[in-house]
Chain A
Amino acid sequence: MNRITALFLEKKTQNLNIYFTAGFPKINDTKLVLKSLQEGGADLVEIGMPYSDPVADGETIQQANQVALDNGMTVKLLFEQLAGIREEGITVPILLMGYVNPVLQFGVEAFCQKCQEVGVDGLILPDMPASVYEEEYKAIFDKYGILNIFLITPQTSESRIRHIDEISHGFIYMVSSASTTGAKSGISDVQEEYFERVNAMNLTNPRLIGFGISDNETFKKASSHSAGAIIGSAFIKMLSTSTDLDGDTKAFVKMVKGQ
């Protein structure tokens, strides 16, 4: 069974998904950060594939993307770095997050095949529209057992949320506010109303809340309305100043989880 699906069957709440950029801060840090996140207690890990034009991302993740690209990071290299991780004891569900163009250039089928080979469970491609996924790529994703994770926002209409729920497997990425990543912090009453409005829809898929989550307080608050939360920019900020990636990463996860 897909590791993401298995996780949510087992664990319904307080799931922590942490994002980091592949090849950041140094090109060979990808596996180290991944391993430290698992050992620290992250429930899912989202590995960012750096891109030259990340329009959905704010400054922090843009800069991490640029540093990784300057380090020489590529999609091909990422798959090389991830080769063998499942044999080496990495059991945490892994998502790759990125933009659609590098995936198209790699070839969608070749990309999904590589994901299956190295043990990637799902993809988040914010600029791939649901309609294109359904018409052109769903069959390929299914063939290799890769889940595609869709986003919803406070502006997404009820009928579209229902449609996204129908075509989703694993979980739905619930963007907490209308923004790019890392632009806003904290969770307001208005956002909590939106979380509850979606909860009341009784969707098939669990939701993870992302954008604006950075610490134990916001993690707990988000988790009280969903199956858990996603942290990106706050973790990247920590990584960019860390002198002990392994120790600091584990400490970060424990801080967020309140352990």
Chain B
Amino acid sequence: MIAPEIYNVNEKGYYGQFGGAFIPEMLYPNVEELRVSYLSIMAEPSFKEEFEALLKDYVGRPTPLFLAKRLSEKYNTTIYLKREDLCHTGAHKVNNTIGQILMAKRLGKHKIVAETGAGQHGVATATVCALMGLECIVYMGEIDIQRQAPNVARMKMLGAKVVPATSGSKTLKDATNEAMRHWINNPVDTHYIIGSVVGPHPYPDMVARFQSVISEEIKWQLKEKTGKTNPDYVIACVGGGSNAAGAFYHFLHDEETKLIAAEAAGHGISSGLSAATTFLGKPGVLHGSRSILMQTEDGQVVEPHSISAGLDYPGIGPMHAHLFESKRATFFDVTDDEAIESAMELSLLEGIIPALESSHALAVLPKLGAKPDEVVVINLSGRGDKDLETYQKYIK
């Protein structure tokens, strides 16, 4: 008998062959401190109580599970939207930053550094730093600073210092490099709040646990509405993959629920302008873990492209690499144009303007082939206010 597949992290920090902690010695003490203590800190009753109270009263959880009737009609199936877009700050990112700021305080850190792509994680980090009175520095690619101006203004208004990352492709990958360098240079008093399920162990697991509230709520909400806890499909977009990790988490071992990941294909996977990692990448090491990444034959990281800053990343979290390799999750490639079309469709059919990132998850619907008696849950990870400048160009 073959042992059942394990999709959670193992005691060495791996998901199958992916994960680990590939970090320079300079970061070892910080990452080791976190590794040794994160599970026990998260299990402390006082931590749980504070985390849950903030999720409820500050973030506004539980977020609704909304039956999208007109969308369901169009695709001839039953579609629920998990409304993470209604979280305080406009996306799921804040679930993680609340958890990590409480973690940082318990580790005695009083400065925070973070990276951001679309700016959602930067805003969510700046927000919790303001709430807790901690100093906040956010690294953001120079190109992303231009295309996500409203979020830059938000971070500044919340008291964060926004530092442009000017190396490489000047996007999320480079912002992550700069944040790691900042941490190397400031190891004693600073905690690095990584925004996705990437980075060295224990970050992917810790972030997935903080985001797992999404699937925890989906289960009981769906039970209330339909009488069963498990849908036929859960769909989420994957850049690094934090919203997908949260939406999948409590379904990982419920194999009757199909897990669907939407990757940003940019202009198309064969165009040379894409961020669809599982289609174009192979195993390698980036930002502290072994995963799948887009790279040249020589092992240089390839600069990705997506219309969505939050998905414009050449790797995926190690958990997703394992879900891909083990075929537990099915990956779809979604182009810029398909994502825009789905954003317009949801706006017109349901009165909800989704974030460009979440639009990639919606764009799986025409390709999914869900049957009329099946239930589909789409994680609507963020709202589209920050993307209006992009959307304006497409409004007919």
Interface residues of A (CB under 8 A from B): 51-53, 55-56, 58, 62, 66, 69, 74-76, 99-106, 126-129, 132, 150-153, 155-157, 160, 175, 178-180, 183
Whether the Cβ atoms of B168 and A52 lie closer than 8 Å is yes
**B interface vs A, CB < 8 Å?**
20-26, 28-29, 167-168, 173, 177, 180-181, 184-188, 283-288, 293, 295, 297-301
Which one of A55, A106, A150, A160 contacts B177 once the chains associate, using CB atoms below 8 Å?
A55
The 26 listed contacts between A and B (C-beta, < 8 Å) are A51-B299, A53-B173, A55-B181, A55-B287, A56-B24, A75-B298, A100-B285, A101-B285, A101-B286, A101-B293, A102-B300, A104-B283, A104-B285, A105-B284, A105-B295, A105-B299, A127-B22, A151-B25, A151-B26, A153-B25, A153-B28, A156-B28, A175-B25, A178-B186, A178-B188, A179-B184
- When C-beta atoms are compared, the residue in chain B nearest to A150 turns out to be B25
Contacts of A66 in B (CB 8 A): 167-168
CB distance from B336 to the nearest CB of A (A): 24
- Whole-angstrom distance between the Cβ of A114 and the nearest chain B Cβ: 14
Would A126 and B24 be within 8 Å (CB), given that A53-B173, A178-B187 are in contact? Answer: yes
**Most chain-A CB neighbours within 10 Å: which of B173, B188, B295, B299?**
B299
> Which residues of B have CB within 8 Å of A128?
22
In the bound complex, do residue B299 and residue A75 qualify as a contact, i.e. CB atoms below 8 Å apart?
yes
Instruction: For the complex formed, measure the closest distance between the CB of A156 and the CB atoms of chain B, giving whole angstroms.
Output: 6
Contact (Cβ within 8 A) B299 A69: no
**What CA separation (Å) do A191 and B177 show in the bound complex?**
26
Determine the distance from Cα of A56 to Cα of B180 in the docked complex, in whole angstroms. 8
Residues of B within 8 A of A132 (CB): 20, 22
The listed residue with most B CB atoms (<10 A of its CB), out of A69, A132, A155, is A155
Contact call B184/A51, Cβ cutoff below 8 A: no
Q: Which B residues are in CB contact (< 8 Å) with A179?
A: 26, 184-185
When the two chains form the complex, which single residue of A74, A76, A155 contacts B26, counting CB atoms closer than 8 Å? Answer: A155
Note all chain A residues with C-beta closer than 8 A to B23.
127, 129
How far in angstroms is the closest Cβ of chain A from B367? 32
B286: which A residues are within 8 A, CB to CB? 53, 101
Q: Roughly how many angstroms separate A69 CA and B301 CA in the complex, as a whole number? A: 11
* CB–CB B24/A55 < 8 A: yes
Question: Cα distance A204–B283 when bound, in Å?
Answer: 37
Q: Are A56's CB and B299's CB within 8 A?
A: no
Known: A66-B167, A180-B184. A127 touches B285 (CB 8 A): yes
Q: Which residues of chain B are near A103, meaning CB under 8 Å?
A: 299
Q: How far is the CA of A69 from the CA of B322 in the complex (A)?
A: 31
Once the chains are docked, how many angstroms separate the CA of A160 from the CA of B28? 10
The 8 closest A-B CB pairs, nearest first, are A105-B299, A102-B299, A151-B25, A126-B24, A56-B24, A52-B300, A74-B298, A155-B29
